[in-house]
A and B are shown apart, each in its own frame.
Chain A
């Protein structure tokens, strides 16, 4: 039972990307599947796709598009930080999530790209140490400046055990990023192409240095953007450090 879980689930439904961080064995994947359970049970998502063995998992080939546009998929990518290291790695997942109705849950010990870190959950205390089956999580929703924080209690977390394989070690995304990219491309103009007043005209690539040099330039710009993003992330984490604990010199 999730106590104070409604606002968190509401955030997940609107933000659609949630990062479950923390040390190993701190219930990251368990909470991700618990959230996925709520999403699938309430019908917000019809399918659960994941890279770990799970009794609820569907195959990507089973996914039938609803209304010609919506995938209605909840994706749980265990240890996502291993293969979503830079912003472009997550690009296949996080763009057009609302339009395709996709929710991405990322339990991972390694940090995920900043673009996936807007909504973050981590365990604060495991009350099973004192005999109570309660896990306490802190939810942080990053805003423009600062962040909203509150706590989420999971009473009797053992309810999720047995649904997925805790022993399985995920080393890849099980082809889900490729599948997402294909689906996005397929459904890109599902709502019909917009012609505009003067009609649609494909934008021409114009480069004085030729096509290959343009591709190299694009790749370099992408890396530069990732580096800037990483720097922003470091600055953001530094800003989060508590300031009250600095020891004053005598």
Chain B
């Protein structure tokens, strides 16, 4: 009696097999796998693996660098912030040994400002533009850094010989302007000749002060702004409607014919006593 041929045996005898390698199923003969549908894509999907690896790498980078969970730069920032230090401050102070102040916001360093050659006490009086800043701390001085290699808070009395007030850390948005660019930047505009006739608010000739004068909010007129990150230390000689403070920052303009500055900076503001 001959053995009965079932569907499976016929399929097997015809070469049907299950299994195989890791590649796509293009090896499947249509008569053995007649129900293959287009929606199924067996095999390795390299693009999905690449996306997965990228996603994992991105998460690791985020956790490590930004949050510092794995001991990366974020951890350094957290430790420095907790200890009153700012990342990179030590190197900056070695290359340019001046006292510096940092602004911490929620435990994270927000800005660093150079306070000048003389160690001074930081004015922590709140102003409207600093309302969101939680804390202003002095994090080092040149003298004790050189002696002990450690950074600690040193509060010193202001130099009474200077006629400027204690420095105040402010957040500024720096831009450049040139009064001859149009009536929007000039109080007294000569339509015929197309030039600005008026001097600065302080009465200076702004053309002579190309790159050397600042336009500030009116209350800062006559004050000195030291912007370390922009390499500027200039007087506020001009004012204008575009230069005012909001809840976060103050707009400051550099008189410049080339217009090469910009960005958000922290700055030390020192005003003549009785001003500001």
Interface residues of A (CB under 8 A from B): 1, 34, 37, 40-41, 46-48, 53-58, 62, 64, 128-133, 156-167
Nearest opposing residue in chain A for B42, CB measure: A158
Question: Is B40 in contact with A161, judged by CB distance below 8 angstroms?
Answer: yes
Does A133 contact B43, Cβ atoms closer than 8 Å? yes
Closest to A159 in B: B18
Contact A166 B37 (CB under 8 A): yes
Please list 22 pairs of residues, one from A and one from B, whose beta carbons are closer than 8 Å in the complex, sorted by A's number. A34-B18, A48-B7, A55-B11, A56-B8, A56-B11, A58-B8, A62-B6, A128-B45, A128-B48, A132-B44, A133-B22, A133-B44, A156-B43, A158-B43, A159-B19, A159-B20, A159-B25, A159-B42, A161-B33, A162-B25, A164-B35, A166-B35
In the bound complex, residues from chain A placing their C-beta under 8 Å from that of B50 are 131
Q: How far is the CA of A46 from the CA of B6 in the complex (A)?
A: 8
Residues of chain A lying within 8 A (CB to CB) of residue B37: 161, 166-167
| Closest Cβ–Cβ distance, residue B271 to chain A (whole Å) | 52
CB distance from A55 to the nearest CB of B (A): 6
Which chain B residue has the least Cβ–Cβ distance from A56?
B8
A166-B32 contact in complex given A37-B18, A131-B52, C-beta closer than 8 Å: no
A131, B49: Cβ atoms closer than 8 Å: yes
Which residues of chain A have C-beta atoms less than 8 A from B11's C-beta?
A: 55-56
Q: Which B residues form the contact surface with A (CB < 8 A)? A: 4, 6-8, 11-12, 16, 18-22, 24-25, 28, 32-37, 39-52
* Contact residue among B20, B28, B43 (Cβ-Cβ distance under 8 Å from A162): B28
Partner of A131, one of B12, B20, B32, B48: B48
Residues A131 and B44 in contact in the complex (CB < 8 Å), given A40-B8, A55-B34: yes
The answer for the CA separation of A130 and B52 in the assembled complex, in Å, is: 6
B52, closest chain A residue (CB): A130
Complex formed: what's the CA distance from A40 to B41 in Å?
Answer: 26
Chain A: minimal CB distance from B43 (Å) = 6
In addition to A156-B42, A159-B25, 17 A-B residue pairs with Cβ atoms within 8 Å of each other are A40-B6, A40-B8, A48-B7, A64-B4, A130-B49, A156-B22, A156-B43, A158-B41, A159-B18, A159-B19, A160-B18, A161-B36, A161-B40, A161-B42, A163-B33, A164-B35, A167-B35
Q: Give the residues in chain B near A37, CB-CB below 8 Å.
A: 18
Give, as a whole number of angstroms, the nearest-CB distance from B70 to chain A: 22
Complex interface: chain A residues within 8 A of B24 (CB): 158
> Which B residues are CB-close (under 8 A) to A132?
44, 49
- A48 near B8 with CB under 8 A, answer yes
Which residues of chain B have C-beta atoms less than 8 A from A53's C-beta? 35
Q: Is the CB of B8 within 8 A of A158?
A: no
- Give every chain A residue within 8 A of B47 (Cβ-Cβ): 131
Chain B residues near A41 (CB-CB < 8 A)? 8, 12
Shortest beta-carbon distance from B241 to chain A in Å: 55
* Contact assessment for B7 and A58 in the assembled complex, using a CB-CB cutoff below 8 Å: yes
A164 to B51, CA, bound (A): 32
Cβ–Cβ < 8 Å partners of A167 in chain B:
35, 37
Which of chain B's residues have a CB closer than 8 A to the CB of A160? 18
Residues of chain B lying within 8 A (CB to CB) of residue A133: 22, 42-44
Distance A1 CA – B19 CA, assembled complex (angstroms): 6
Q: Write the nearest CB–CB distance from A191 to chain B, whole angstroms.
A: 23
Per the bound structure, the CA–CA distance linking A147 and B16 in Å amounts to: 37
Measured between beta carbons, the chain B residues less than 8 angstroms from A166 are 35, 37, 39-40
Q: How far is the CA of A159 from the CA of B17 in the complex (A)?
A: 9
Min CB gap B30→A, angstroms: 8
Q: How far is the CB of B60 from chain A (nearest CB, A)?
A: 16
A contact residues around B34 at 8 Å (CB): 55, 162
